[in-house]
Amino acid sequence: MNPVSAIRVSGLMKRFRATQALDGVSLDIRPGEFFGLLGPNGAGKTTLISILAGLTRADAGTASVMGHDVVRDYRAARRALGVVPQELVYDPFFNVRETLAIQSGYYGLRHNDDWIDEVMHHLALAPHADKNTQSLSGGMKRRLLVAQALVHKPPVIVLDEPTAGVDVELRRSLWDFIAGLNREGHTILLTTHYLEEAEALCGRIAMLKHGRIVACDTTRRLLQHTNEHCAQLRVDAEALPAPWQARLQRDADGSLRFDFSDYAELENLLADLRGAGVRITELHLHEPDLEDVFTDIMQRA
């Protein structure tokens, strides 16, 4: 028997008047994965999350969370899911602690103070516990949204751009906290436009464009997708060995750029330079990162 998927969607279609927001999306995310969902603005990421959360109904296809269909078995599916919405929303009638206690209550949790305190601590909200939500800064409101999504310790956590507007230090502590939850077995689905975040955190990544999945693989394999390396170097001589003159481009600042796909080429270059008595004064290697891969995949798709 197959183990139950944490998130499973199949053949999802969703149309908003003229826009086909989702055009046949299928995904299978296993329990315990840290999964990234990337795509340009309007690709359909939030629409997909809204369908999982029951905020939007799909035109066709099915979605389930921990094996519970999000329409037929909506109560079990929602209990298993914690969602940080993309929009910065808050209820101005309440303070931080009230907000979290009330949100716990919606899941039937009455005595949740220990966990609420812990979540507030990790999200640096504890000093603001008695502040009205209206008086929180944008980044604090975002962290409160994260806290609200976690009050019921959901096995599956979906974060729709959770770090937009959060400062560097708190972003790091937020990710430490989320990564810790992931190590404890929580499944994480993340969307973000900060690709270095996705690269560092996600084990697997799907890329979405115009409502279709255009790539879905482990982060490691995606990074191997392009083998375009680049070396930036400076030398103490004007003239280069003849065969290399055409391969190296001189940049505006006088440094030389060498694009290659195989490290043997770099070795040959270095050997020839040494043979010709040219001394290297500076050398930087640029490895392809997720941003290069992303740009490349989006252009081709």
Partner 1 sequence: MSGFPALFYKEMLRFWKVVVQTVVAPVVTALLYLLIFSHVLEEHVEVFPGVSYTAFLVPGLVMMSMLQNAFSNSSSSLIQSKMQGNIVFVLLPPLSYLEFFLAYLGAAVIRGLVVGLGVWAVTLWFAPPQMPHPGWLLAFSLLSCGILGAVGIIAGIWAEKYDQLAAFQNFLILPLTFLSGVFYSIHSLPPFWQAVSHFNPVFYLIDGFRYAFVGQSDADPWLGLLVGGACFVAISAFTLALLKSGYKLRH
Ligand X SMILES: Nc1ncnc2c1ncn2[C@@H]1O[C@H](COP(=O)(O)OP(=O)(O)OP(=O)(O)O)[C@@H](O)[C@H]1O
Amino acid symbol at 67: G
Which residues from 18-57 bind ligand X, rule CB under 6 A? 19, 21, 39, 41-47
Instruction: Please give the C-alpha separations between residue 16 and each of 51, 52, 159, 192, in angstroms, as whole numbers.
Output: 13, 17, 23, 23
What, of ligand X, partner 1, Mg ion, none, does residue 98 touch, CB below 5 to 8 Å by kind? partner 1
Within 13 A of 201's CA, how many CA atoms are on the CB side?
30
Based on CB atoms, which residue is closest to ligand X, 45 or 122? Answer: 45
219 lies in the binding site for ligand X (CB under 6 A): no
What, of ligand X, partner 1, Mg ion, none, does residue 44 touch, CB below 5 to 8 Å by kind? ligand X
Instruction: Match 């000093």 to its residue by tokens.
Output: 127
Query: Strand, helix or coil at 28?
Result: strand
Give the other-Cβ count within 10 Å of 232's Cβ: 15
Query: Strand, helix or coil at 1?
Result: coil
Tell me the C-alpha distance between 149 and 159, whole Å.
9
Based on CB atoms, which residue is closest to ligand X, 18 or 239? Answer: 18
Q: Residues in the site for partner 1, rule: CB under 8 A? A: 16, 50, 53-57, 74-76, 78-79, 81, 83, 85, 87, 89-94, 98, 102-108, 148, 152
CB of 151 to partner 1, least distance (A): 9
Q: How many residues bind ligand X (CB under 6 A)?
A: 12
Among 10, 56, 86, 226, the residue binding Mg ion under the rule CB under 5 A is: 86
CB of 86 to partner 1, least distance (A): 10
Based on CB atoms, which residue is closest to partner 1, 98 or 228? Answer: 98
Tell me the C-alpha distance between 214 and 224, whole Å.
16
Based on CB atoms, which residue is closest to Mg ion, 45 or 171? Answer: 45
CB of 73 to partner 1, least distance (A): 10
CB of 86 to Mg ion, least distance (A): 5
CB of 49 to partner 1, least distance (A): 11
Pairing outcome for strands 34-38 and 81-84: unpaired
Terminal CA-to-CA distance of the chain, rounded, Å? 35
58 lies in the binding site for ligand X (CB under 6 A): no
The DSSP letter of residue 236 is S
